[in-house]
Amino acid sequence: MSIYATLWTLKFPRDGDLASEGDWIAVHAQAVPPHIGTPTPGQGYEQGDPYASFLPPPVVVDEAGAAPYHRAVVFVTEHSSKGTERNPQEYVAPLLVLTGEEYARIGFAELHRRLGEALRANGAPAVAEIARARGSRKQVRSGEVQPKVSTEALDLSRPVDEVRAQKPWTDDREKQYP
């Protein structure tokens, strides 16, 4: 029996950033109910919490096993594996683990940002997408060094690739590219 209950499943860009032709991946929010591993007497965990090594601290529950928040919410992809040497209920590499209270308080924009960072696998955010003349595309990531091309190597008789920039700001909606 699983200790997790699926709250929702959403599709996210596979590499954390939206691309015009990018792949999508399902991300599942898996809740760990408050009674799992609780220190509250009479709930079956008098010998200790078998999940303490990979979940946030347990929560105190009432006599019905209820509490204001889940113990945890674990975010995984459709390809995540469950079961480690340490515990068969542990996900091998979750994207993100929050306490139930953190999950209840986090806004969707912040949650989306944090999941995007996790999916990006420590890569820098995309700042532009280049549409090449033959239809292929390339994302340019922040801080990525672009190769220098000498003017002699340029063939100006061929079409120049288009660049569709993504807005690097979030608050100033009126700002325009120069």
- Each domain of the chain, given as residue ranges in start order, spans 5-119, 126-165
Q: What is the pLDDT of residues 114-158, one digit of tens each?
A: 998 888 874 555 556 666 667 666 656 555 555 555 555 555 565
Between 170 and 23, the more confident residue is 23
C-beta of residue 26 within 8 angstroms of C-beta of residue 10: yes
Q: Does residue 130 sit in helix, strand or coil?
A: strand
C-beta of residue 103 within 8 angstroms of C-beta of residue 68: no
C-beta of residue 42 within 8 angstroms of C-beta of residue 62: no
Between 8 and 21, the more confident residue is 8
Average pLDDT over residues 64-83: 93
Q: Is the pLDDT of residue 176 over 50?
A: no
Write down the pLDDT at residue 178.
41
**Contacting residues for 72 by C-beta, under 8 A, at least 6 apart:** 31, 32, 55, 56, 97, 98, 99, 100
Q: Is the pLDDT of residue 167 over 50?
A: no
**What is the pTM (predicted TM-score) of this model?**
0.69
